Amino acid sequence: MAMLLGKKVGMTRLYDQEGRSVPVTVLQVGPCVVTQVKTVATDGYDAVQLGYEDVKPSRQTKPLIGHFAKAGTGPKRFVREMRLAEDLSGQFKVGETLTVGVFEGTQRVDVISTSKGKGFQGVMKRHHFGGFPASHGTERKHRAQGSIASHATNRGFSGRPKKGKRMAGHMGNIRVTTKNHKVMLIDQERGLLVVSGTVPGSNGTYCVVKTAKTPVKVATK
Amino acid sequence: MRTDLIDAVEATCLKKQVPYFEIGDTVDVVFKIKEGDKERTQVFTGTVIARKGRGINEMVTVRRVVGSEGVERIFPIHSPNVLDIEPVRSSRVRRAKLYFLRQRSGKSAKLRKRHSEHTAGS
């Protein structure tokens, strides 16, 4: 299990051995500094805190600057924790730098990032509702959601909409995990990790890259 | 967009040598096709009417007229399935995109021949 922090650079395509064109996302991951090692004894759980990308000291609070100084680095912009199995916390040292090399030999990765914000959206875009017909007498509700509740919503006789009823509202700009990206290429020199498919967020978005958690389901013929 | 980093990634998949051809050239495109498990090469001959995209996304549009029906194929220049693009005849053209050829047929669709250094064929 490896994890690193990085940034989405952009997308392009690569050709695989069979000559097929594969859409890929280029990620710049690492170098990440281990800023803290948490153990059961001190914090109640085992984890490693990673920091990515320098930020001006004037942009950060003094307590944080002090926290990073303990690890022997300057302040970092993007900080996330990696949970560890109990016996692994001895493997990491505070102040240690991790680079893309940790993914060497990894087949697939999960990417966690913040999706593009879409603003306030209606139900057709946000939840893929069907809307109403364009004609046949439909008036002023072509993209409406229809009924949201009745007197007996789910026989509760409430008259109120059910909790969690899908409606219009803010869409995007949330944490999204995309799973099982194939690792296509690792460029140690530039710190690049090239993964298959699309990664949430716009170019320049910070992301967390982890070794894939769930195995890929093999389609049965 | 950090194109320099993306270019570095694309460079690993680019062809070292891209055959030289120009817009308006008649070319033989040699490419691999798969039929079931068998692989064979096929040649598509036609006029280069457009070339667009950069890096690994560079595409070439080749047009030919079969019978009275125009056929256009778009080839990714850097695809490993496109084995060769061989110019056999070049023409004098004054624009980069020859889309006007789609509206023309017969004699008006002919391009004036040009004797250039890069095309060996007559």
Give the residue numbers spanning the domain of A148.
127-168
Residues of A in contact with B8 (CB under 8 A): 187, 190, 192
CB contact under 8 A, A21 and B79: yes
CATH number for position A193: 2.40.30.10
User: Would residue A218 count as lying in a domain?
Assistant: no
In a domain, A161, yes or no: yes
Number of A–B residue contacts, CB under 8 Å? 52
Minimum-distance CB partner of B56 among A9, A13, A192: A13
| A131 shares a domain with A204 | no
Chain A residues touching residue B39 (CB < 8 angstroms): none
To the nearest whole angstrom, how far is the Cα of A9 from the nearest Cα of chain B? 6
pLDDT of A81 higher than 80: yes
Instruction: Name the residue among B3, B9, B57 with its Cβ closest to that of A185.
Output: B9
The CB density around residue B21, as the number of other CB atoms within 10 Å, is: 22
pLDDT at A89: 64
Is residue A48 one of the residues assigned to a domain?
yes
A50 and A152 belong to one structural domain: no
CB < 8 Å to A24, chain B: 9
In a domain, A219, yes or no: no
Span A107-165, pLDDT tens digits: 899 999 999 999 999 999 999 999 999 999 998 999 999 888 888 777 677 778 888 89
Residues A24, B9: C-beta atoms closer than 8 Å: yes
Mean pLDDT of A72-91: 84
Q: Which of B1, B9, B30 to mutate to test the interface with A (most CBs of A within 10 A)?
A: B9
Task: Name every chain B residue with its beta carbon within 8 A of the beta carbon of A11.
Answer: 6
- Residue B1 and residue A194: Cβ atoms within 8 Å? no
State the pLDDT confidence band at A218, using cuts at 50, 70 and 90: confident
> Do both A182 and A77 map to the same domain?
yes
Do A163 and A175 belong together in one domain?
no
- Residues A164, A175 share a domain: no
Nearest to A10 among B1, B12, B32 (CB): B1
| Whether A87 and A135 share a structural domain | no
Query: Which residues of chain A does B9 touch, with a Cβ-Cβ cutoff of 8 Å?
Result: 12, 14, 24, 26, 185, 187, 192, 194
CB spacing of A15 vs B13 below 8 angstroms: yes
Confidence label for B12 from pLDDT (cuts 50, 70 and 90): confident
Measure A192 CA to nearest chain B CA, in Å. Answer: 8
Q: Do residues A110 and A73 both lie within one domain? A: yes
pLDDT of residue B122: 43
Let me know whether A176 and A162 are in one domain. no
Residue A42 has phi, psi (to 5 degrees) of -95, -35
Contact B10 A12 (CB under 8 A): yes
User: Mean pLDDT score of chain A, rounded to an integer?
Assistant: 89
Is A192:A11 a contact under the CB 8 Å cutoff? no
DSSP letter (8 states) at residue A219: P
Query: Per the domain annotation, does A216 fall within a domain?
Result: no
CA B21 to chain centre: 8
Cα-based distances in Å from A162 to A141, A148, B21: 22, 8, 66
Kindly identify which residue of chain B lies nearest to residue A194, measuring between CA atoms.
B9
Buried b (16+ CB within 10 A) or exposed e, A174-193: eebebebbbbbebbeeebbb
A140 and A42 fall within a common domain: no
Residues A35 and A92 occupy one common structural domain: yes
Query: Looking at the structure, do residues A193 and A145 belong to the same domain, yes or no?
Result: no
Helix/strand/coil for A64: helix
pTM: 0.83
* Domain co-membership, A164 together with A69: no
pLDDT in tens, B14-57: 888 888 998 999 999 999 988 888 889 999 999 999 999 888 89
Q: How confident is residue A43, by pLDDT bands cut at 50, 70 and 90? A: confident
Please judge whether A190 and B1 are an interchain contact, meaning their C-beta atoms are less than 8 angstroms apart.
no
- For chain B, the residues whose C-beta falls within 8 A of a C-beta of chain A are 1-3, 5-6, 8-10, 12-13, 32, 55-57, 76, 78-81
Q: Which residue has the tokens 């085992």?
A: A46
Give the SS3 label for residue A10: strand
C-beta atoms of B8 and A185 within 8 A: no
pLDDT on residue A221? 59
Residue A221 inside a domain? The answer is: no
Domain assignment present for A217: no
Spatial distance between the Cα atoms of A27 and A55, rounded to a whole number of angstroms: 20
Total domains in chain A come to 2
